[in-house]
Chains A and B, each alone.
Chain A
């Protein structure tokens, strides 16, 4: 295996079918999450990463079932805790490719504290949030990205709270790779995911993944009609001010919704600070203390 902090070699492409899991997805027909799954399988195959060198780690929710449908290592953790598990896993076995996945409730609601710190920490992993602006698995309550006024089971008179903006939050928290994608445009999704996995640092891709059952507002048609490719429009991804200008545009109103890579910087990833310890993956370290070292440890207390 190659150590990601040192190099990522180009490798021959694999067959996406290899990445098909044992279990058929139980998502509703037409769910956006199928798009994320298919794209991710294609990306792993096209990047040629062997399946045993990948860990896909999720929280809880409809979209967090994804690791069960892909043939790699992985964890299906607790609600909101994909990132802590993914970061602990990554530092322990840093030459594996780690992708954290989950929904908007999981990542921007119950897990938002971890999200912010993961952004500033900048560990070399990829985080895909399948954002549908609704709680699906619990049958349709308001989410952190539901629009003001949106009627859901928990807000029958309309959501009074302003939605969280994942892109400005990420940009403001020291993220080194910030992107937005829409599952209705798989070509762009694949491109972005590839760039994100290749990126040496923490990459967040807020991915519109419409819920066909509980969100009748932010539908596939809504995004199809309102999104455009910001990179094709000539955005400079190294310019954080320009990224903010695009990111503050309302995704629920009359503004066109920009999709693509908002920002990418080359600041050192977290693993660089542990270079000595990570000269070999921690899982391969010899355990325990030599008799000579034991003497030294005890001497500090004498």
Chain B
């Protein structure tokens, strides 16, 4: 049954066809009308060619799932039809570029969908438009899409003006004319869909997860970001770079990830809020320095955006298999790991990460994934006033007659941190084990009785900060959402959050009640509170975009609770609600067979 105020569409072609800008036209039209959009990008590591598609779910409510079968599809390149026509919902509509795709070929694929080929050159010539470039088919097909979805074309025209004005009035006029050609042709030649997409007319933000992370870091007081480009984390570097001059930020692309994290540690030591970001492979190179931040008690935020691994792996696809990596490093050191669940969460958790890093003087890892970081979605609002910058025990004066101890033992195990440059408190930030003053003990003292006692005390001081975060309530247990009496509990982390919501809706229609236990704070995990939540659950099933159950292993290690039923996906595509429901059904069939046997 087609949901009348909800639709799934797809825009597909080759890299270089302008799929992103078509998606932007459509997305901005919807977000400016006050509709919600969730757009999932599927692409490969090629700059030109290949198969690129953008699938968008549009509706008045927050969209949590890009869905399986699109109802309307725009196809740009001759390689597109065999890949995408089979996916179209029966009775759906396909608009295609008649200059690259042959009518007979596309229509022979299946007969239960409606095909409309648009010929840019013929239509532009008939309208006597000049300087028309073949790539402008994307504006024409956007016109077709806006009309067929019964969206407000004036909003698109306004956005086109906003987007192209810096290229001059003429470019705006030409794009308007081409958009209108597609829009009017569709009005005259096609049956409108039975759709009522009504927004609340309050413009929403339409952004990616990486944008939201970047904005959250900046809102949280970030002054310094060093990184080396690596998909899918590069978007953060791109976003914060645009603000470097206007907001007086130091943004540096450096020679490698070893440099990136160490630049950030140098900055953090100096006393600015610093972060770095990378994907799994780059994070591997950073791990030694992560331990340095732990040992040296330097505030540091590292964003780890997961992609398909191991090694170079699958750069442009999703996987959630890097908790072990975030937990990595030689020896034991305190850290905090947080995984945002959606775009709003990317914003708020990034700011929170900076606060926790500075309050506890330790490395914080914010884990995202390809889907969360790279997909575009509408956000109602981001409330900057909710963000309070807490710098912890940072001092810019030292007037005591006592000699300053950088690593002083204190009641709460957090040592006052005097900012370098302050008279009278000279000290070292150090990667060797050390005493309260920061004098190293490895060279001539290690092993002597007093040094052994110091090692025990200093190491324990650092590690106690882990429990302190829990005791202070700064680290949260997972959240249990939905009916507490549900037969099934899904356990998730990261971007899988939204898909469970959509799976729960589908299950409810079929009369199955499920609830949802979602982990945002991945380390440490408050043990007692978490176990109490597990106790309330009946059948517990983890849902993770990986093969080896990264989160379940973390839960087992941190709480002793073992989850034995899993739904996994590691083909590189994100879950959908439908996918999860199907997997659940397969499990139930197996269960029944076992019972019958």
Contacts and interface: CB of A to CB of B under 8 A. Distances in A.
Contact of A93 (B271, B384, B443): B271
Nearest to B388: A288
B425 A92 contact: no
Interface string A25-61: 0100000000000000000000000111101010010
Given A277-B248, A287-B389, A55 B420 contact: yes
A288 B220 contact: yes
A75 B269 contact: yes
Given A283-B271, A302-B203, A78 B248 contact: no
Interface in B29-88: 31-32
Interface string A197-215: 0000000000000000000
Contact of A289 (B247, B250, B272, B274): B247
A73 B421 contact: yes
B262 A77 contact: yes
A288 B248 contact: no
B255 A68 contact: no
A249 interface: no
Nearest to B387: A288
B270 A283 contact: yes
B422 interface: yes
Contacts of A276: 245, 248
B266 A50 contact: no
Given A84-B258, A301-B206, A77 B292 contact: yes
B439 A23 contact: yes
Interface string A241-285: 000000000000000000000000000000000101100011101
A92 B205 contact: no
A237 interface: no
Given A53-B421, A92-B274, A86 B266 contact: yes
Interface stretch (A147-155, A225-233, A292-300): A292-300
B1 interface: no
A65 interface: yes
Contacts of B591: none
Interface in A117-138: 117
A92 B272 contact: yes
B250 A274 contact: yes
B304 interface: no
A81 B248 contact: no
B226 interface: yes
B470 interface: no
Contact of A283 (B252, B272, B382): B272
Contacts of B267: 88-89, 91-92, 282
A281 to B, nearest CB: 8
A276 B245 CA distance: 8
A287 B429 CA distance: 23
Contacts of A302: 31-32, 203-206
A53 B270 CA distance: 12
Nearest to B379: A301
Contacts of A297: 215, 218, 243
Contact of B262 (A51, A81, A283): A81
Interface string B280-293: 00000000110010
B384 A73 contact: no
B89 interface: no
A291 interface: yes
Interface stretch (B14-22, B124-132, B430-438): B430-438
Given A52-B425, A287-B221, A287-B389, A114 B255 contact: yes
B421 A65 contact: no
B426 A52 contact: yes
A301 B205 contact: yes
Interface residues of A, number: 57
A26 B444 contact: yes
Most chain A CB neighbours (cut-off 10 Å) among B224, B260, B381: B224
Contact of A22 (B243, B244, B439): B439
Given A91-B224, A93-B420, A85 B207 contact: no
A50 B379 CA distance: 51
B432 A76 contact: yes
Given A52-B423, A92-B224, A277-B244, A85 B269 contact: yes
A67 interface: yes
B439 A84 contact: no
Contact of B224 (A26, A113, A282): A282
A88 B266 CA distance: 5
B254 interface: yes
B258 A81 contact: yes
A116 B264 CA distance: 19
A287 B245 contact: no
Most chain B CB neighbours (cut-off 10 Å) among A23, A68, A72, A92: A92
A60 B428 contact: no
Given A285-B248, A298-B382, A96 B420 contact: yes
A276 B247 CA distance: 10
Given A55-B420, A117-B255, A288-B219, A282 B426 contact: no
Interface in B429-472: 429-432, 437, 439-440, 443-444
Contacts of B428: 67-68, 73-76
Contact of B264 (A88, A90, A95): A88
B250 A91 contact: yes
Contacts of A76: 428-432, 440
A142 interface: no
A169 to B, nearest CB: 15
Contacts of A117: 254-255, 259
13 contacts: A22-B437, A68-B428, A81-B262, A88-B269, A92-B267, A96-B270, A283-B272, A285-B223, A288-B219, A288-B221, A288-B389, A289-B218, A294-B219
Q: Which 3 A-B pairs have the closest CB atoms?
A: A88-B266, A287-B221, A84-B262
Given A88-B262, A288-B389, 20 more contacts: A26-B443, A52-B424, A55-B270, A68-B439, A68-B440, A76-B431, A78-B288, A78-B292, A84-B262, A88-B226, A92-B266, A92-B271, A96-B421, A114-B255, A282-B248, A293-B247, A297-B218, A302-B32, A302-B203, A302-B205
